[in-house]
């Protein structure tokens, strides 16, 4: 009996990618023959990095870690449509907490009902159970230390982006001073 080739996609915003995401990717590589990291172009979310910048950062990490059988690209539209286009067998998702389970369960059921695609869940390591890209952006905006939560190449870009945003806010406040009462 021959082994079936299994392609999975790991969709997300990855804005920015975290060590928790990398943990899920490394676990996924042990389960699947090919893993496509699918960087979503969300029209709803307020994004810190462009999809192109996020793909570039992830490509750097793939090269640095010499990951085989993994690729990254951005996509528009529904995840299930992208999965069909890539001929993916499953969608890989990481779980951090009970809150994730409720949301992800509903999403997986919908994806299976709409497109017939299965979702495989991987629990993230305990040390990353609280980490989210949203939390990373908030801590970064307040100048917190993120060196244990995101890869070094991402940390450098994030610090640079935060400095730029702070400088922009300062220049805007100088141009538009608040009226005194």
Residues classed as catalytic: 21, 45, 96, 133
In angstroms, the CA 25 to CA 30 distance is 9
Ranges assigned E (strand) in the chain: 7-12, 34-40, 70-75, 90-95, 118-123
Do 83 and 9 touch, CB atoms closer than 8 A? Answer: yes
In angstroms, the CA 37 to CA 17 distance is 11
Residue showing tokens 């001929």: 87
Return the half-sphere exposure (C-beta side, CA atoms, 13 A cut-off) of residue 154: 29
Q: SS3 for 119?
A: strand
């Amino acid at each position: 009996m021959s082994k079936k080739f299994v392609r999975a996609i790991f969709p997300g915003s990855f804005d920015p990618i975290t060590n928790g995401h990398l943990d899920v990717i490394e676990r996924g590589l042990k389960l699947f023959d090919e893993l496509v990291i699918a960087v979503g172009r969300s029209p709803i979310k307020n994004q810190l990095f462009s999809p192109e910048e996020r793909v570039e950062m992830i490509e750097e990490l793939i090269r640095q870690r010499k990951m085989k059988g993994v690729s990254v690209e951005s996509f528009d539209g529904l995840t299930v449509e992208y999965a069909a286009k890539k001929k993916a067998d499953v969608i890989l998702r990481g779980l951090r907490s009970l809150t994730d389970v409720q949301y992800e369960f509903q999403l997986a059921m919908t994806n299976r009902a709409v497109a017939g695609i299965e979702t495989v869940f991987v629990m993230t390591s305990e040390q990353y159970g609280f980490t989210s890209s949203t939390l990373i952006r908030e801590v970064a905006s307040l100048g917190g230390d993120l060196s244990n939560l995101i890869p070094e190449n991402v940390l450098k870009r994030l610090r640079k982006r935060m400095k730029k945003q702070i400088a922009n806010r300062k220049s805007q406040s100088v141009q538009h001073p608040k009226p005194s009462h």
